[in-house]
A and B are shown apart, each in its own frame.
Chain A
C-alpha cells in the first residue's frame, strides 16, 4: 500500500518541470510562427514592390527612346506612389545617359516596414534602335 501511495499522480516538481518544458516549447513555436509571419508579410511587400518596379520597367521598354527621361528632371526622372495591402510604395525612376544612343534605367521602390525604410531596385539598359 505504501508503494502504491508513493506512485499516485505527479509531484509538484514534476508538474513544474513539465510546465516549464511546455512553456519553453510553446514560446519557441510562438516566436517561430511570429517570425515566420513577419517574414511572409515582408515577402509580400517585397513582391508588391518588385511588381511595381517591373511594371514600370516594361512600360519604359515599350516607350520610344526619346521619350525615356523626357522631359528631363535632375537626378530622378519620375516619382510615383501606390498603396497596396495597406502599405504605401514610392517608386523612383532614374535615367542616366551613358551615350547618345544608350540609356540606363534604375527603378527603386521604397516603403517603410516596422519603422525601418526598405527598398528594392531593378536596372537595365535601353538602346536607341534605328
Chain B
C-alpha cells in the first residue's frame, strides 16, 4: 500500500517527463521545418532541372531542322545553370516524326542534385521544291501540256504546242519559266504558249539586241508564239532568278533510308490488275521495279529505286495506275541510282499521282498523266502529251534536303 511519503519527489519526475516531451515536440517541429526547407530547395532545383531538360528538347529540334539525320546523344551545358543530355529516336514513329528525349541535370550530369527527364514528339514537315518541273540538263514538253507552277532548268527548255503555264493556285505568284543556261534557244518556243499576266520568262542566253532581233541566236526564241499573258521577257538575265540551282535531286536519301521501310533485293515486276499496299512505308527496290497495267496503290508511301541495271527503266508505271477508286495515288516515285537503258522513271499513260517524282538522270511522262506535286530530274525531263502537272505539297511526306517547311510539336511530357 502506498503512503503519502512514497509520492514525494513525483513533481520532479513529472517535470522531467514534461520537459522531455516538450523537448521532443520542439525538436520534431524544428525537424519538420528543416524538412520543409529541404523539400523546397529540392523543388526549386527540380524546376531548374526541368527548364534545362526543356532546353535540351529545343536543342534537339534545332539540330533536326538542320539535319533530319540527327540522333544525338548530345550532352551540353547551359551556362552555369545545368547540363542536358538529349537523344532522338524514330522507332515506332510515323514518317517525319521524331521522339526527342532530354534529361536536365542540376548542377551537372556528374554530380546531379536534381534530375528531370522530358520526352517530346515533333513532326518536321519537309518543304517542297519551288518548281513544278525542274531539271538540271533540260526540259522538253511536247503538246497539250498544263503546268501549274514554275518551270526551271539549268539547261534548255523546249516547249511544244498548246502549252499552258499557269499559277499553282489563285493568288500564287508562280507560273513563270527560268533557265540558267547562257546558250541560244535557252527557252525554245516551238508552238503556241499560253501564260498568265504578270509572269516572266528569263534566260541567261544572248539578247535580241545583241543578236539583232528574235533569231535562233537569242536566249529566248520565237516569243511571237506566246499567245496569252504577255510575260516579261528577259534575256541575258543575271538575276538570282536564273542562278543555277545545281542539284535538282532534292530528296535527303540518308533520311529516306532511316524511315520505316521494306527492302526488295531483286527486280520486281508487278503484273496487271494488282493492288499494291503502300502502308505508310518506304518501299526500297535495290534492283528496280515495274508496275504493269491496272495497278491500284492503296494507302500512301514512297517507291524508291536505289540501284540496278539491265532494264529499260528503273521505275516504270505502264498504264492505268491510280489510287483507290480511280483517284490520285498518294505515292512518291524516286530513282536515285542504277544504269537503265531508257530512263530512270517512266510514267506511261493514264496515271494519277500525288507526290514527288524524282529521277537521277531522266524522267519521262508520256500521255494522260496527272501529277499533283513536283517532277524533277538530275538530268532531263521529257513530257509528251496531255499531261498536267500541278505544283503542290506531297501526299506522303518525303525528306527534302535543307528545306523544312514546318515544325510541329505533337506532344511534350515528363517521363
Chain B window 41-76, contacts with chain A (Cβ cutoff 8 Å), 1 for yes, 0 for no: 100100110011011101101100100000000000
Is B78's CB within 8 Å of the partner chain A? yes
Task: Count contacts on A: residues with CB < 8 A to the other chain.
Answer: 30
Q: Which of A54, A122, A126: most chain B Cβ within 10 A?
A: A122
How far, in whole Å, are A61 and B56 apart by their CA atoms in the complex? 13
Chain A 22-60 interface residues, beta-carbon cutoff 8 Å to B? 25, 29, 32-33, 36, 39-40, 43, 46-47, 50, 54, 57
Residues of B within 8 A of A64 (CB): none
Query: Assuming A36-B34, A39-B37, A102-B62, is B78 touching A123 (CB within 8 A)?
Result: yes
Query: Assuming A40-B33, A106-B79, is B52 touching A124 (CB within 8 A)?
Result: yes
Residue among A25, A29, A33, A102 making CB contact with B58, cutoff 8 Å:
A102
Q: Which of A106, A124, A128: most chain B Cβ within 10 A?
A: A124
Is B254's CB within 8 Å of the partner chain A? no
How far, in whole Å, are A62 and B322 apart by their CA atoms in the complex? 44
Residues of A within 8 A of B78 (CB): 104, 123-125
How far, in whole Å, are A54 and B46 apart by their CA atoms in the complex? 12
Contact assessment for A128 and B48 in the assembled complex, using a CB-CB cutoff below 8 Å: no
Is B23's CB within 8 Å of the partner chain A? yes
Contact assessment for A102 and B59 in the assembled complex, using a CB-CB cutoff below 8 Å: yes
Residues of B within 8 A of A130 (CB): 65, 124, 404-407
Using C-beta atoms within 8 Å of the partner chain, give the interface range for chain B: 20 to 34
Contact assessment for B79 and A104 in the assembled complex, using a CB-CB cutoff below 8 Å: yes
How far, in whole Å, are A46 and B167 apart by their CA atoms in the complex? 60
Contact assessment for A129 and B61 in the assembled complex, using a CB-CB cutoff below 8 Å: yes
Chain A 71-129 interface residues, beta-carbon cutoff 8 Å to B? 99, 101-102, 104, 106, 120-129
Residues of B within 8 A of A104 (CB): 55, 78-79
Residue among A33, A47, A101 making CB contact with B40, cutoff 8 Å:
A47
- Extra contacts, 20 of them, besides A46-B41, A47-B40, A124-B58 (Cβ < 8 A), are A39-B37, A40-B36, A43-B36, A43-B41, A47-B44, A99-B62, A106-B79, A121-B81, A122-B47, A123-B48, A124-B51, A125-B55, A125-B59, A127-B62, A127-B65, A128-B62, A129-B61, A129-B407, A129-B409, A130-B65
Residue among A43, A47, A123 making CB contact with B55, cutoff 8 Å:
A123
Chain B window 265-290, contacts with chain A (Cβ cutoff 8 Å), 1 for yes, 0 for no: 00000000000000000000000000
Is B228's CB within 8 Å of the partner chain A? no
Contact assessment for B23 and A123 in the assembled complex, using a CB-CB cutoff below 8 Å: no
How far, in whole Å, are A43 and B39 apart by their CA atoms in the complex? 10
Residues of B within 8 A of A121 (CB): 48, 80-81
Residues of B within 8 A of A126 (CB): 55, 58
Contact assessment for A122 and B51 in the assembled complex, using a CB-CB cutoff below 8 Å: yes
Chain B window 7-42, contacts with chain A (Cβ cutoff 8 Å), 1 for yes, 0 for no: 000000000000100010010001001101100110
Residues of A within 8 A of B37 (CB): 39-40, 43
Residue among B19, B30, B55, B82 making CB contact with A36, cutoff 8 Å:
B30
B61 and chain A: residue at smallest CB distance: A127
How far, in whole Å, are A52 and B104 apart by their CA atoms in the complex? 21
Residues of A within 8 A of B59 (CB): 102, 125, 127
Closest CB-CB distance, A60 to chain B, in whole Å?
10
Contact assessment for A54 and B47 in the assembled complex, using a CB-CB cutoff below 8 Å: yes
Residues of B within 8 A of A25 (CB): 19, 23
How far, in whole Å, are A76 and B404 apart by their CA atoms in the complex? 32
Closest CB-CB distance, B202 to chain A, in whole Å?
28
Residues of A within 8 A of B404 (CB): 130
A126 and chain B: residue at smallest CB distance: B58
Residues of A within 8 A of B81 (CB): 106, 121-123
Q: Which of A36, A39, A102, A125: most chain B Cβ within 10 A?
A: A125
Residues of B within 8 A of A127 (CB): 58-59, 61-62, 65
18 A-B pairs with CB atoms under 8 Å apart are: A32-B30, A36-B30, A36-B34, A46-B40, A50-B44, A101-B62, A123-B51, A124-B51, A124-B52, A124-B54, A124-B78, A125-B59, A125-B62, A126-B58, A127-B58, A127-B65, A129-B65, A130-B404
